[in-house]
Amino acid sequence: MRDRSPQRLLSLFLAVAGGAFLWAAFPDVGWWPGAFVAVALLWWALREDHAWWNTLYGFAFGITFFLPHVRWAINATEVAPWIAMSVIEALFLALFGALWTWARRAVRAGLRGRDGTLIAGAAQAAAFAVVFTAVEQWRSEIPFGGFPWGRLAWAMVDAPLGRAAWLGGTVLVTLAVCLTGLWLAAAVHAIAARPRAVAAHGRAAGMVVAAAAIVVAPATLPLPASSDAGATGDGATLHDAGTDLAEDGVLRAGAVQGNVDDPDLGVFAARPELFGNHLAGTYELAEELAGQLDIVLWPEDSTGVDPRTSAQAAAALDAAATAVGAPVLVGTQEYPADGGRYNLSLLWQAGQGATERYAKQHPAPFGEYIPLRPLVRLLSDQVDRVTTDMLPGDQPAVMDIPAAGGDTRIATIICFEVAYDEIVRDAVRHGAQVLVVPTNNAAFGWTEEATQQLAMTRMQAITTGRAAVQVSTVGVSGIVTPDGTLVASAELFTHDTLAATLPLRHTITPAVAAGYWPGWIAGIAAVLLAAAGVTARIVTRVTERRVARTAPAAGGPAGRARPSATDAATDRDALVR
């Protein structure tokens, strides 16, 4: 039997290289074509017709990507939780390796006799993309509500392909990234297989054109693109976030990034300082824009104390809101008498106190609450830093604010919730006309976490057709137009204020209208493909055994067909013939 160790070592190398390229596609490197290269390398790595080996390659791809991608977790906790989170997410890529093995068998069985045709190649690419997209959706939902960090779609916010989110959300963007990467892989393989053949070069050129078409075609979609968006001046001057796109008037919003003087203090020790810095920022806005703003936006957990229970904090907020002439959206925490706590956004109006309240629906597992606390404590004592588990809110992320033209409904999507499509979609379906993402990035230090989150905010602006403001305690804060363009931002660990005129919109995009359906369809299709592949393998083995029992003695027993090398080569070639 031929020694397959060199091929398996090569597959492992390709998987690791693919994970590295995928990491480079995200902020802060931000080389989005790296995502296409990553998919191509993963395709080549998963060449075996053996689920266990492909599981290993999938895990290698995933762990190489996730360890550096979420390295900010070390700043918030320690090494063990960071590794544990990366391993859990990488296991989904391992699952993909197995599912793809079975799905490929289903495609091969369904197209038997047409292995070398373009139809077979397209079917293989479509199946790969569907299964990958389904697994990505599953890890965004499970366990403990999922963890959507690292979706391929988030890397595409600056690419023409990212505009496809308006049509089909993150699911469609991920699917398109996979298809693009596979056609590029096929082009390379076509030339490598027959480097001197003119026909091979022609086929490769056609595949490159197909890949390019997938990338640039979304540029033709009718996104609400502004011709006026951009900065109108320095300092606290109002920025235009696409007011020519307004359907229901505009909202004039100020945002305060209070910062902390010493980043090493940490998020918990710096809470009193944060409150004072955000008060100071509000007075800075008042100096230039008093009476011109409809609302001032503060980040998540920016007060350090519930102003409804602190007369001193309430008086300070009243004075700041009076000075600026607008209500203030503040972040705080609420501790109910029966235990637990809520992560809140409150709309604070001078003389009236908190008139609107939103409680975060999706607390971060292991960050804001600890599932399976006794078991997890065996891995790390960091669980004891979360002394009081956060409770989930049960209302949509919207609130009404008073504005000159009447009440305006905004989405109040707290921190990591911006990564969860269903929370954002639900807010828009409940009438949100603009997206607000208050977040507290103080625990993550000088890492890419804040810029990764800003990319998600921008993608959600494209998906929903809404202008957005991300406002952070320490950065990165930003103002985003309805087509995802970043018109102004504040640097990490700086004290700054931003102000913008935001267009209010009510149009529901195709992606919001589609809701869960794209993800459900991908998931169902992936399960059916995998099940069909398992069934086909069982049928093949049963047939082979029957043939072996009835084979003439002179011919000897029919051995079990092992499709590993031949079929894997056929699968690769199917894309290029």
With a pLDDT cut of 90, the percent of the chain lying above it is 65
* Bridge-based pairing state of the strands 496-503 and 250-257: antiparallel
Does residue 259 share a domain with residue 304?
Answer: yes
Check: CB of residue 320 under 8 Å from CB of residue 328: yes
In-domain check, residue 486: yes
In-domain check, residue 373: no
pLDDT digits (tens, 9 = 90+) for 556-573: 554 444 444 445 544 544
Q: How confident is the model at residue 226 (pLDDT cuts 50, 70, 90)?
A: confident
Overall domain count for the chain: 2
Average confidence (pLDDT) over 540-549 = 79
Q: What is the pLDDT of residue 133?
A: 97
Does residue 175 share a domain with residue 71?
Answer: yes
Domain boundary pick from 506, 537, 565 = 506
Q: What is the pLDDT of residue 122?
A: 80
In-domain check, residue 534: yes
pLDDT digits (tens, 9 = 90+) for 455-475: 999 999 999 999 999 999 998
Q: What is the pLDDT of residue 5?
A: 83
Whether 113 has a pLDDT exceeding 60, the answer reads no
Does residue 204 share a domain with residue 79?
Answer: yes
Whether 115 has a pLDDT exceeding 80, the answer reads no
CA atoms within 13 A on the CB side of 103: 28
In-domain check, residue 318: yes
Does residue 115 share a domain with residue 263?
Answer: no
In-domain check, residue 106: yes
> Which of 424, 416, 399 is CA-nearest to residue 329?
399
What's the mean pLDDT when you consider all of the chain? 88
In-domain check, residue 379: no
pLDDT digits (tens, 9 = 90+) for 170-204: 999 999 999 999 999 888 877 877 776 767 778 88
Coil/strand/helix, residue 528: helix
Average confidence (pLDDT) over 351-380 = 82
Does residue 339 share a domain with residue 308?
Answer: yes
DSSP string of 282-315, one letter each residue: HHHHHHHHTTT-SEEE--TT-SSS-TTT-HHHHH
CA atoms within 13 A on the CB side of 225: 7
Residue 316's CATH number: 3.60.110.10
Q: What is the pLDDT of residue 190?
A: 77
Encoding tokens for residue 292?
């011109």
Does residue 189 share a domain with residue 252?
Answer: no
Pairwise CA distance, residues 333 & 345, whole Å? 8
In-domain check, residue 380: no
Q: What is the pLDDT of residue 65?
A: 98
In-domain check, residue 371: no
Pairwise CA distance, residues 551 & 571, whole Å? 29
Average confidence (pLDDT) over 79-108 = 92
Q: Which residues pair with 477 in a beta bridge?
A: 490
Does residue 261 share a domain with residue 142?
Answer: no
**Long-range contacts of the stretch 518-525 (C-beta < 8 A, 24+):** 518/168, 518/169, 518/171, 518/172, 519/134, 519/137, 519/171, 522/130, 522/133, 522/134, 522/137, 522/171, 522/175, 523/134, 523/137, 523/138, 525/130, 525/134
Does residue 180 share a domain with residue 54?
Answer: yes
Does residue 556 share a domain with residue 421?
Answer: no
Average confidence (pLDDT) over 362-374 = 78
Domain boundary pick from 506, 530, 565 = 506
* Residue 342 phi, psi (nearest 5): -120, 145
Q: What is the pLDDT of residue 164?
A: 97
Average confidence (pLDDT) over 132-147 = 94
Does residue 449 share a domain with residue 315?
Answer: yes
Helix, strand, coil share (%) of the chain residues, nearest 5? 55, 15, 35
Does residue 309 share a domain with residue 401?
Answer: yes
Check: CB of residue 472 under 8 Å from CB of residue 257: yes
pLDDT digits (tens, 9 = 90+) for 256-270: 999 986 665 555 555
Q: What is the pLDDT of residue 186?
A: 85
Does residue 177 share a domain with residue 44?
Answer: yes
Encoding tokens for residue 158?
């600056």
DSSP string of 339-386, one letter each residue: S-BEEEEEEEETTTEEEEEEE-SSPPBTTTB-TTHHHHHTT-GGGGG-
pTM for the structure as a whole: 0.90
Domain boundary pick from 506, 540, 558 = 506
Range of the domain at 261: 239-364+393-506
Q: How confident is the model at residue 207 (pLDDT cuts 50, 70, 90)?
A: confident
Whether 111 has a pLDDT exceeding 90, the answer reads no
